[in-house]
Amino acid sequence: MRLYSGTSLQFVEDTFQGQIAEKLRNAFFEHFRYNPSPSEVSSWRNSLRAMSQVIEHSKLMDHGIVLEYQLPLTSRRLDCMICGRDHEHEDHAVIVELKQWERCEDSESEREVSTRLGGRERDVLHPSVQAGQYKRYLQDVQTVFYDSDKDGGHVELDACCYLHNYNPYSDDVLFYPKFKAVTDDCPVFTADNVSGLSDYLVPRLDRGEGIEVLRRVEASRYRPSKKLMDHVGDVIKGNPEFILLDEQLVVYDKIFSFAKKGFHDKQKVVVIVEGGPGTGKSAIAINLMADLSIAGYNAHYATGSKAFTETLWKRVGSRASAQFKYFNSYSNAQDNEIDVLIADESHRIRMTSYNRFTPKIKRKDVPQIEELVTAAKVSVFFIDDKQVVRPGEIGSIEYIKEYAANRNCKVFEYKLDVQFRCAGSQGFVSWVENTLGIARTADVIWDPSEEDFEFKVLDSPEELEAAIRQKVTEGNTGRLVAGFCWKWSDPKPDGTLEDDVVIGGFRRPWNAKQDVRRLAKGIPTASLWATDPNGLEQVGCVYTAQGFEFDYAGVIFGPDLRYNFDTQSWEGHPADSYDRSVKRAGADFTKLVENTYRVLFSRAMKGCYVHFMDKDTERFFKSRMEQGQS
């Protein structure tokens, strides 16, 4: 999708006549069915006038130009791309990222600078990093930019940035040494260096004939390059965390065979893999992603978890965003655009891909499950029905089966039973489910003498924290987690976190909120809390911890769920919860909070330590343990 394309001559004329912003506004409404914000229209008017003057000054008048070009299967749009032929008559395109900034400051983050946007200071990507990401993404996923076997060969792609209102001062942050590598690859041109921008563009585009090059760009299709797929596959296969064992390998082989058959089958295939915490669902999913990529299949890995997805991006590299996405990334995908879509943590599938922050005018009524199944020839859903912890999460085995049957898909089901987390103790997970009233199981009493997994009840949060820290000093991984029983504050102006989790004299902050722009040095973002060593300084909630595992988990069991000995039942207490969405769940509140504590208890590989704030709840748990064990 793009909002404008045509000749550079027409673009210059449209800009001179004051029509370019209105044409973009009309195209935006035609595509999205709502109007762009006034600030966006204003930025088009100002930035494109400056870009038009550069094109005219550089005499690039026989060229193709595309504006607001949406990167395939993302919501991101690059500002401007100019197409033509270079001095060697090779097809060439140049991305120009446009900024209205007038100043920026340094940031403690590696790839960011700080500038004023939307009325406040924000950390944002350095323009060269942003332009470079767009360039790499297109080179990785759009055939015209990497496939030399097609008629005419591939289109060479470059990128730069033009900050047309920016007059740099001496030793400006934009040109700090830490950004030299990215500015060498994707240079920055400011208001005082228009001639430099012209000198950059002309050698790459000076032969003109750009409409034919633009036609090739617009006609090219989305498919990850073999180089990208090999990269993803090789990185994953080199990670020992993702080795498959026993029934995991059996399920993997079955799914891989369906992928091969589904590649040539007109009928869609839906595979459902059920498994509790620690049964290896994600290990299978990641291995499938690696080997399908190496085998040349266009495979995608999607989850509903921002933290888990961004952690995978960090492990596999920034290029992974081309194939590791979110459930809501497929609203605009074409039918069968992907060979295999691996949907991990499918219990987090929502009714639709919009959320409560999405303006009504932007909302679509298409079910999210429909977007996922439509996008792929083979869809693989890894799921645990008992991990639903929010009312908006509707993913379940029956829901997926019913939808697949209505779409006339071939459906295959598999179940994983062997426990690879909790020291291999299926008994511990089963005991937790029984004790919390989630499921009737044979494991009514916890007998640690029969298990290698360690479970302890501690009298205070201070003892709990000390026990986890001791395990970490011994070389283990460990985190403190808790029920959502305290407010979750925004960071202070200096980027430090409020001590929201207060129990007597115990005071600790929650992990940082998602999408916080500025954090003090040493505080990990929410997405990296589970893997950054400094995450031990904060308490994690279920939304941050879900999908991850630690050697030892310290759980603060809050007053939002209590056992009533008089009624011999679990009771949810919404008044003691700060989770607004769960509090609105009504009769489902207790079930969702039970699932929450099940998730928190099952994060551990070697041991789970817990502090109960409610003594009756503690006594009930202890009554389900062999005497003398705590």
Has residue 246 got a pLDDT over 60? no
Task: Name the pTM for this structure.
Answer: 0.65
Task: Quickly name the fold that domain 422-623 has.
Answer: Rossmann fold (3.40.50)
Has residue 559 got a pLDDT over 90? yes
Give the span between the Cα atoms of 420 and 397, in whole angstroms: 22
Q: What is the mean pLDDT of residues 544-553?
A: 87
- Residues 6 or more apart whose CB falls under 8 angstroms from that of 581 comprise 390, 391, 392
Instruction: Indicate where the chain has its CATH 3.40.91 domain(s).
Output: 2-219
Give the span between the Cα atoms of 601 and 621, in whole angstroms: 13
How far is the CA of 383 from the CAs of 282, 380, 423, 610, in angstroms?
10, 10, 21, 26
Instruction: Indicate where the chain has its CATH 3.40.50.300 domain(s).
Output: 226-416
Burial of 411 (0-12, 13-18, 19+ CB in 10 A): middle
- State both tokens at 23: 């044409």
pLDDT reported for residue 183: 96
Cβ-based neighbour number of residue 66 at 10 Å: 21
Give the span between the Cα atoms of 466 and 484, in whole angstroms: 21
Task: Quickly name the fold that domain 226-416 has.
Answer: Rossmann fold (3.40.50)
Q: What is the mean pLDDT of residues 416-441?
A: 74
Has residue 512 got a pLDDT over 90? yes
pLDDT reported for residue 443: 80
Q: Please list the alpha-helical segments (H only) found in 295-395.
A: 306-316, 368-375
Mean pLDDT taken over the chain: 87
- Which range (100-114, 212-226, 398-412, 422-436) has the least confidence? 422-436
pLDDT reported for residue 355: 62
CATH of domain 2-219: 3.40.91
- Which range (124-128, 139-143, 338-342) has the least confidence? 139-143
Has residue 94 got a pLDDT over 60? yes
- Residues 6 or more apart whose CB falls under 8 angstroms from that of 207 comprise 84, 85, 86, 87, 89
324: β partners? 301
pLDDT, greater one: 306 or 208: 208
Has residue 376 got a pLDDT over 80? yes
Give the span between the Cα atoms of 20 and 26, in whole angstroms: 10
pLDDT reported for residue 424: 46
- Which range (357-361, 487-491, 611-615) has the least confidence? 357-361
423: pLDDT confidence band, cut at 50, 70 and 90? very low
- State both tokens at 472: 């970490």
Residue 437: DSSP 8-state: T
pLDDT reported for residue 361: 62
Give the span between the Cα atoms of 22 and 475, in whole angstroms: 61
Give the span between the Cα atoms of 206 and 209, in whole angstroms: 9
Give the span between the Cα atoms of 249 and 259, in whole angstroms: 15
- Residues 6 or more apart whose CB falls under 8 angstroms from that of 591 comprise none
pLDDT reported for residue 363: 65
93: β partners? 83, 157
Give the span between the Cα atoms of 163 and 196, in whole angstroms: 12
Q: What is the mean pLDDT of residues 367-377?
A: 94
β-bridge pairing 454-457 and 376-383: unpaired
Q: 608-623, pLDDT tens digit by residue?
A: 999 999 999 999 999 9
Spatial contact of 63 and 7, defined as CB atoms under 8 Å apart: yes
457: β partners? 610
Give the span between the Cα atoms of 283 and 192, in whole angstroms: 53
477: pLDDT confidence band, cut at 50, 70 and 90? very high
Has residue 75 got a pLDDT over 90? no
Q: 25-59, pLDDT tens digit by residue?
A: 999 988 877 888 899 999 999 999 999 999 999 99
Among residues 74, 104, 40, 120, the alpha carbon closest in space to that of 517 is found at: 120
Q: 318-329, pLDDT tens digit by residue?
A: 666 778 888 998
